[in-house]
Chains A and B, each alone.
Chain A
Amino acid sequence: MSPWLPILMAVPVLGAIVVALLPKGGDKLAKQVTLAVSLLVLVLTGVMAAQFKPGGARFQFTAEYDWIPSFGVKFGVGVDGVALVLIALSAVLVPIVVLASWYDADGVKTADGTIVTPKRSVKTYFSLLLVLEAMMIGVFAATDVFLFYVFFEAMLIPMYFMIGSYGGAQRSYAAVKFLLYSLFGGLLMLVAVIGLYVAASKGTFMFEPLIGAVKDPTTQKWLFGGFFIAFAIKAPLWPVHTWLPDAAAQAPAGAAVLLVGVLDKVGTFGMLRFCLELFPDAAKSFTMPIVVLSVISIIYGAIVAIGQTDMKRLIAYTSISHFGFIVLGVFAMSNIAQTGAALYMVNHGFATGALFLAAGFLIARRGSPFIADYGGVQKVAPLLAGFFLVAGLAGLSLPGLSSFVSEFMVMIGTYSSSAHGSGAFTVAAGISAVAVILAAVYILWMVQRTLNGPTAEPVKAFKDLNAREVWVLAPLIALIIGFGFFPKPLIDVIQPSVVHTLTNVNVSTAIAERGTGQ
């Protein structure tokens, strides 16, 4: 029994309670407490991660407490490499988001200068943020499938309020759409979770005993379907993606970062761990349709992104394209591709986080999310423009930045995957590589229209980034460049855990698969 993970969850919950109980008018104090708590979580996560042994047991820092003993439900937590890096991602992003959202809960400025006032108080926003952090850690740490489900659903609540109460003009619509889609998926998953319990008849929801427990192929397929649809909505995969652009565009920038950067990763994380390992035969038989959907997502997301007029929607669509890559990597069933996919989950969090936040800083100055309302920012706010550009370059997976490594690994691992025998993976990787060109178009065209050209009249009054804003973006950019050249620490942690997954799916775990493409 290791206390690490329960502590990691308890700290933000306690922090949330403290923030919520602060007296009225203590907005600034609420922000400071939230920042301090989230930094404490970051430090604790760092200390814990330093003790993780990549070559050791699959799940480390495990802890189990009986929750509903008669039903075999446990509060079981523990992390493998993939879960660890995603928890670390959450722990890094939350303090950055706190700092970035310093004034977000005070009201959202619109293009005509009016302020959309939030429905709830400032301290509630930051309290929700900490609750969300606890749940994000919980969902990745859960080793009990039922506990995972509970976190999966419960995460919706703080996010729902963050969008619905603090978002832009269309916030109600976006929040409800987000909730509807997610609940629909969650319901399917609940049925599948219960079905899994019954079909496996092990009397437990703990993940490891359930591996390989469901043998009947038809049952596997149904249960796989329940989990997969829930995860595909969350990820989101084409064609169940349309909630994301609305939610991301209406959410305050900080909430959008956590939504796209972390919450959506629960979908791809779930596919990698639960869909593949619990239902390996079903996963293999559904591989081809899923690969087709992910390739559609990659290309379709990129093309629709090019046509967007709203910055935040554009970034959301690029994410749909990127999630396509992650799902492709997960189902390519090769060491390189899956390691790349898990790495992609982390890198995408940094890259999209930076892009959303930089866009958020632009929007906070101008009040408009529309690209056409900008122009020539480079001239008046070079620092902001520089950060925005680098974040954009991470979004187009420029080599030397972290997102390139993961995208490259996904594509090359998919291309060379021998899991399916046929040339389908080759074709899928070849088509998805076209997104490399499209990505240059959607990012650089946005950059050109916002940063370059003659300075638009309302842009002339822009102030460059202040110290707080630099502290928001600089760590992300440093991580993006650092992991771009030195991805090894992350890969070393991820790869052993991917080998476990591949072994449980019973496919080759070799890194180099020679001679399959001749």
Chain B
Amino acid sequence: MESPVEIVQHTAGGVIGASWLMIAFPLLGAFILLVFNRFTNRWGHLLGVAMSLASFVVAVLAFFELLGLGEEQRRQAVHLYEFIPGMVDMGLLIDPLSISFALLITGVGSLIHIYSIGYMAHDEHRRRFFSYLNLFVSAMLLLVLADNYVGLFIGWEGVGLASYLLIGFWQFKPSAATAAKKAFVVNRVGDFGLLVGMFIMWTTFGTLTFSQLGEEVGKGASNGTLTAIGLLLLLGACGKSAQLPLQSWLLDAMEGPTPVSALIHAATMVTAGVYLVVRSGAFFFPEGSAQALAVAIVGAATLLAGAIIGCAKDDIKKGLAGSTMSQIGYMMLGAGLGPAGYAFAIGHLITHGFFKADMFLGAGSVMHGMNDEVDMRKYGGLRKYMPLTFVTFIVGYLAIIGFPLLSGYFTKDGIIETAVHHQPVLGWLAVLGAGITGFYMSRMVFMTFFGQKRWAENAHPHESPAVMTLPLIILSIGSIFLGGYLILSNTLMDFLAPAVGAPEVRPEFHPFTTPGLATLALVAVGAAYAWMKYGKAEVPAVQPRGSFLTTFARRDLYGDAINESLFMRPGQWLTRLAVFFDNRGVDGVVNGLAAGIGGSSGRLRRLQTGFARTYALSILIGAALLTGALLLVGTI
């Protein structure tokens, strides 16, 4: 196996030296828009877009500067300032892994900013929307660029805040407000893991900086420590990436405006868990260790759970959300396989960023033309009315189901092949998941764009303006070609190798392997079944009752029900009990004691006002007298 190269201190200046600008531009944007408030209403969205684009430009320049360096030099730590003296300094790590993310975040992020100009055009709070988007981009960049866990954590919770604000953007809707709070709280459960993981790192290795941690872990660490850290980091990753058992917030998060769902809850933020695992590779070592296996199992379980949920949703955004869970499950599975899977996991993350953003924005474009209707049972036959949206959506759809030669085909296949090789059971589950993906995604396409019109009476579907369709076109181009480019000649694997290591044997792409063919066959079966049920047959405009299994999937595998009965209700009882105890118990005992001194408890009320005042005064006078007497004794 090829190990990552050492991190070197950056001294040369240049764009890499100024890479903090990537974070600073959108932060400045958010600041200006929030502080100068309604004075920026007229041009606020343009500033937002400009700041995001500026960040993208810096990322591209830094990328090329990095490419110009030799492989041994491709991990540059940029020192910024002393943060907590003696403990951790703030710095950035510019390496192939972080720059890949930076390009994805600023690139797709900018497209979504542009799209939002059109999508949010009629919202009176568009300026506020762009300030939150900018805040998000800034925090997400800090997350992936920080060269230490504390900086990462600031970004980590920063994106959580942005997510909270944007899910609850239409906070006057109680459902949106609840969903926002839920997302934050569930994420904090994961953050607990990340925090305690940092405690152990600091206690064991005396540092929280990636470069030093790498060295210290390399010197040897007990398996128990590594497993503990690994599992705690995984808990954090599960929260942010909506993996089992912390998945429940993502479906509710669809309350946010659709560009938010595309950017935060599909393309970037929710993939931060995958980033965390890959970045923390040192703790998930060796391959097949308990903690690495746990990552792969969580991934496999979630990819199935998400796919099953996706099958039963009539809400187009929730269907896509289930699909996001599922696709991140694939990435997690890949990340759990060690250096052999890292490049495929990150590759799938990047291509998914494109095709999922493409489809979410497509869904947004559909909603835009359908009075914000999200129920696919009220769609149907839309391909003729919004052709551009249709074509771009179809491209995303083909990419996600792994249609040969499109982006998703290469990256997902890479994960499946590697998984079958290293963890056969999980690998074949991933094959099965691909089949289910073929079904639910086809169902979505047929219900939306094909079949009979089942529209509401006031629906007048129309194509969206160019400011919205242009991003769709660019994203679909990425959805077509990016996967092949990254995977076919191991471009991405070789690029990432200095940062995350690489397997000894470079994988070669074979189109006709057993798992590969099985995947294609299952996808075809899934798609065909969907055609029979939702393409050829008429889709009922009202949701049918459905079997036990359907209900199971519709209710998100009873995730909420489990959380409610396991945590929420007992928590509510505990809270009530504690409040009661505090009012009657603790206070009662103290009041009772006081009453005991003053007489019967019947006089409690009087004690609390009249008598106690005298009592207090007598203590004060007593203390004064005592002090006085002592001082007097002293003077004699």
Contact = CB atoms under 8 A, between A and B. Distances in A.
Q: Do A and B bind each other?
A: yes
Interface of A: 68, 70-73, 153, 172-173, 176-177, 179-180, 183-184, 186-187, 190, 194, 238-242, 300, 303-304, 306-308, 335-336, 376, 378-379, 383, 386, 393, 398-400, 404-405, 408-409, 411-412, 415-416, 426, 429-430, 433-434, 436-437, 440-441, 444-445, 447-448, 451-455, 485-488, 491-492, 495, 511-518
Contacts of B590: 240, 242
Contacts of A405: 84
Given A176-B608, A514-B206, A307 B575 contact: yes
A517 B86 contact: no
Contacts of A153: 620, 623
Given A491-B84, A515-B206, 12 more contacts: A172-B609, A335-B86, A376-B172, A379-B172, A383-B37, A405-B84, A429-B196, A437-B188, A448-B180, A452-B172, A495-B86, A518-B225
A183 B85 CA distance: 40
27 contacts: A68-B634, A176-B609, A180-B612, A183-B619, A187-B622, A242-B586, A300-B582, A379-B172, A393-B161, A404-B154, A412-B199, A412-B203, A416-B203, A429-B196, A430-B196, A434-B192, A436-B188, A440-B184, A448-B178, A452-B172, A453-B177, A455-B172, A514-B204, A516-B203, A518-B204, A518-B222, A518-B225
Given A176-B613, A440-B188, A415 B158 contact: no
Given A398-B157, A412-B198, A433-B196, A514 B634 contact: no
Interface string B507-536: 000000000000000000000000000000
B502 to A, nearest CB: 30
B569 to A, nearest CB: 14
B609 A180 contact: no
Q: Which of A335, A415, A487 has the most CB of B within 10 A?
A: A415
B634 A70 contact: yes
A304 B195 contact: no
Q: Which of B192, B222, B609 has the most CB of A within 10 A?
A: B192
A300 to B, nearest CB: 7
Contacts of B336: none
A190 B200 contact: no
A515 B181 CA distance: 38
B172 A453 contact: yes
A452 B206 contact: no
B11 interface: no
Interface in B220-273: 221-222, 225
A378 to B, nearest CB: 6
Interface stretch (B304-312, B369-377, B625-633): B625-633
Interface in B132-176: 150, 153-154, 156-158, 161, 164, 168, 171-172, 174, 176
B202 interface: yes
B159 to A, nearest CB: 11
Contact of A512 (B86, B174, B574, B576): B86
B413 interface: no
Contact of B203 (A300, A399, A415, A454): A415
Q: Please classify how large the interface on chain B is, using the bins under 10, 10 to 19, 20 to 34, 35 or more.
A: 35 or more
Contacts of B626: 190
A190 B627 contact: yes
Contacts of B196: 415, 429-430, 433
B204 A512 contact: no
A307 B579 contact: yes
Contacts of A177: 608, 612
B189 A304 contact: no
Q: What are the 9 A-B residue pairs with the smallest beta carbon separation, nearest first?
A: A71-B634, A517-B203, A452-B177, A307-B579, A511-B86, A514-B206, A416-B203, A415-B199, A512-B206
B153 A433 contact: no
B205 interface: yes
Contacts of A455: 172
B630 A194 contact: yes
Interface in B591-636: 594, 608-609, 612-613, 615-616, 619-620, 622-623, 626-627, 630-631, 634-636
A176 B605 CA distance: 12
Given A512-B87, A517-B204, A184 B609 contact: no
A77 to B, nearest CB: 20
Contacts of A515: 204, 206
Contacts of B576: 307
B635 A68 contact: yes
Contacts of A176: 608-609, 612-613, 616
B567 to A, nearest CB: 10
Contact of A306 (B86, B202, B207, B575): B575
B64 interface: no
B39 interface: no
Contacts of A440: 184-185, 188
A202 to B, nearest CB: 14
B549 interface: no
A512 B150 CA distance: 15
B314 interface: no
Contacts of B171: 378, 451-453
Nearest to A441: B185
A173 B623 contact: no
B612 A408 contact: no
A495 B634 CA distance: 38
A409 B84 contact: yes
Contact of B177 (A72, A187, A448): A448
Given A187-B623, A400-B157, A242 B582 contact: yes
A405 B150 CA distance: 10
Interface string B79-98: 00111111100100000000
Contact of A433 (B81, B195, B636): B195
B173 to A, nearest CB: 8
B191 interface: yes
Nearest to B200: A517
Contacts of A495: 85-86
Contact of B185 (A180, A434, A437, A452): A437
B174 A453 contact: yes
Nearest to A393: B161
B190 to A, nearest CB: 10
B616 A180 contact: yes
A411 B195 contact: yes
B85 A491 contact: yes
B71 to A, nearest CB: 32
Contacts of A179: 616
B8 interface: no
B87 A378 contact: no
Contact of A437 (B87, B172, B192, B627): B192
Contacts of B623: 153, 183, 186-187, 190
Contacts of B634: 68, 70-73
Given A416-B203, A512-B86, A516-B203, A444 B181 contact: yes
B199 A68 contact: no
A336 B87 contact: yes
